[in-house]
């Protein structure tokens, strides 16, 4: 309230400073001129009486001053309008009207265009309000409007993608990464970025599409560390933990000294119980699971050079061999998880449902393994 009173006082002061001259009457100089000329006539008379000037000079001075006096008197009479008082009151009226009208008009504009009903926010709330998030959302809205008008702006899609990831809008990030890859051209980094967005969109699961992006990134650049890390994650999710350990150990061995992702790789290796050195990692599967190892890193590199049909046949062959092994020994829970995921990736939902049922029968006596099967089935949307 005190602040508003202060603003009102400042406004009134400024208005008075501008309008005060309108309220004053015009300066009257005519009367002053007449008095000066009368004083000059008296002075001429005194000078003549004291002998300072002669009679002829005094007469000439009297004539000149008298002439000026008459001219000034006539000018004053002509300049004195009959409505001078009304003119003064008219100016004062304008000043008063402006003094009242200006604040009223300003208040009217504020009531129409401002937000007078908006309550003030507490200081604590204003200090902790999410200004950065609001600013980010505003910037994203502007960028999205630009992209909507210019859908072929590859640079715009590339800028939006990491922002979407930060905001948790993973499916939008996937779309942005795909568009950036299509419009800006293929690079190892863009393929790796696309794979990362796909993993985030699937809650951390390295899907077949994501893995294909990572493998393509490695084929373009063998030192694409992000892609190699996620390939290790795919191996770990498929139950091939020894290969995942080797992949990550190789990453650490080749990592620059200041690589910011090294702690994450070390943490992943620690979760596997493997050392952070390029030594053979301890087997993570049981004896039955080790009979049918997955593809090595070299196999992955070779697969990236195959055609789509050849790669599909290779994957189906691997899945078929895994199903045959599990039919003989169903105690490998990691193998069942791999089989369920593989069937869903291949689009063979019926086989995924059947594999889930078989896994529950084989592992029904082990509550922990059965829980893992049920969790993955719910995550993949497998019915039954």
Q: Which domains does the chain have, with CATH numbers?
A: 2-78+87-113 (no CATH), 132-288 (1.25.40.10), 306-380 (1.25.40)
Tens-place pLDDT, residues 112-164: 665 555 545 444 444 444 444 456 677 788 888 888 999 898 888 998 889 88
Position 92 scores a pLDDT of: 66
Cα torsion 35, 37, 39, 42: sign: negative
Instruction: Detail the DSSP E strand segments found in 165-275.
Output: none
What is the C-alpha separation between 248 and 329, in angstroms, rounded? 30
Position 80 scores a pLDDT of: 55
Using alpha carbons, select from 373, 281, 287, 283 the residue that is nearest to residue 334. 373
What is the C-alpha separation between 66 and 68, in angstroms, rounded? 5
Mark 211-230 as b/e (b = at least 16 C-beta within 10 Å): bbbbbbbbbbeeebbbbbbb
What is the C-alpha separation between 61 and 55, in angstroms, rounded? 10
Structure tokens that stand for 281 in this block: 């990692």
Provide the pLDDT confidence category of residue 283 given band limits of 50, 70 and 90.
Answer: very low
pTM for the predicted model, two decimal places: 0.41
Tens-place pLDDT, residues 41-100: 777 777 777 777 777 777 777 777 677 767 766 666 555 554 455 666 766 676 667 667
Fill in the DSSP letter of residue 114.
S
Between the two ends of the chain, the Cα-to-Cα distance in Å is 68
Question: 363 in helix, strand or coil?
Answer: coil
Which residue did the predictor score with more confidence, 330 or 73? 330
Using alpha carbons, select from 132, 93, 118, 372 the residue that is nearest to residue 237. 372
Structure tokens that stand for 115 in this block: 């937000």
Question: 54 in helix, strand or coil?
Answer: coil
DSSP sequence for 272-339: HT--SSSSPPPP-S-TTGGGS----HHHHHHHTTS-HHHHHHHHHHHHHHHHHHHHH-TT-HHHHHHH
Mark 163-179 as b/e (b = at least 16 C-beta within 10 Å): bbbeeebbebbbbbbbb
Tens-place pLDDT, residues 158-207: 988 898 888 888 999 999 999 999 999 999 999 999 999 999 888 888 99
Fill in the DSSP letter of residue 346.
T
Provide the pLDDT confidence category of residue 255 given band limits of 50, 70 and 90.
Answer: confident
């Amino acid at each position: 309230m005190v602040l508003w009173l202060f603003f009102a006082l400042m406004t009134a002061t400024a208005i008075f400073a501008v309008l005060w001259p309108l309220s004053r009457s015009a300066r009257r100089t005519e009367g002053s001129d007449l008095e000066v000329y009368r004083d000059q006539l008296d002075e001429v008379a005194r000078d003549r009486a004291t002998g300072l000037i002669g009679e002829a000079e005094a007469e000439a001075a009297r004539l000149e001053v008298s002439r000026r006096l008459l001219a000034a008197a006539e000018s004053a009479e002509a300049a004195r309008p009959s409505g001078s008082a009304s003119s003064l009151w008219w100016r004062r009226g304008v000043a008063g009207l402006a003094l009242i009208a200006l604040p009223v008009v300003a208040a009217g504009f504020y009531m129409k265009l401002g937000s007078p009903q908006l309550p003030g926010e507490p200081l604590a709330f204003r200090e902790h309000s999410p200004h950065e998030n609001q600013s980010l959302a505003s910037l994203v809205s502007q960028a999205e409007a630009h992209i909507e008008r210019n859908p072929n702006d590859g640079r715009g899609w590339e800028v939006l993608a990491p922002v979407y990831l930060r905001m948790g809008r993973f499916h939008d990030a996937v779309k942005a990464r795909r568009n950036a890859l299509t419009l800006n051209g293929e690079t190892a980094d863009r393929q790796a970025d696309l794979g990362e967005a796909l993993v985030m969109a699937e809650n951390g699961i390295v899907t077949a599409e994501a893995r294909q992006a990572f493998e393509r990134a490695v084929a373009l650049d063998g030192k694409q560390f992000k892609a190699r890390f996620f390939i290790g994650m795919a191996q770990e999710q498929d139950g091939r933990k020894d290969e995942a350990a080797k992949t990550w150990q190789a990453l650490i061995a080749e990592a620059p000294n200041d690589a910011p992702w090294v702690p994450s790789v070390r943490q992943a290796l620690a979760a596997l119980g493997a050392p952070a050195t390029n030594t053979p990692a301890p087997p993570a599967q049981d004896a039955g699971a080790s009979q049918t190892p997955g593809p090595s890193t070299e196999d992955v590199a070779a697969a990236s050079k195959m055609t789509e049909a050849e790669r599909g046949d290779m994957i189906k062959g691997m899945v078929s061999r895994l199903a045959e092994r599990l039919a003989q020994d169903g105690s490998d829970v990691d193998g069942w998880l791999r089989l369920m995921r593989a069937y869903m990736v291949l689009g063979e939902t019926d086989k995924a449902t059947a594999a889930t049922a078989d896994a529950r029968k084989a592992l029904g006596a082990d509550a922990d393994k059965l829980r893992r099967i049920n969790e993955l089935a719910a995550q993949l949307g497998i019915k039954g």
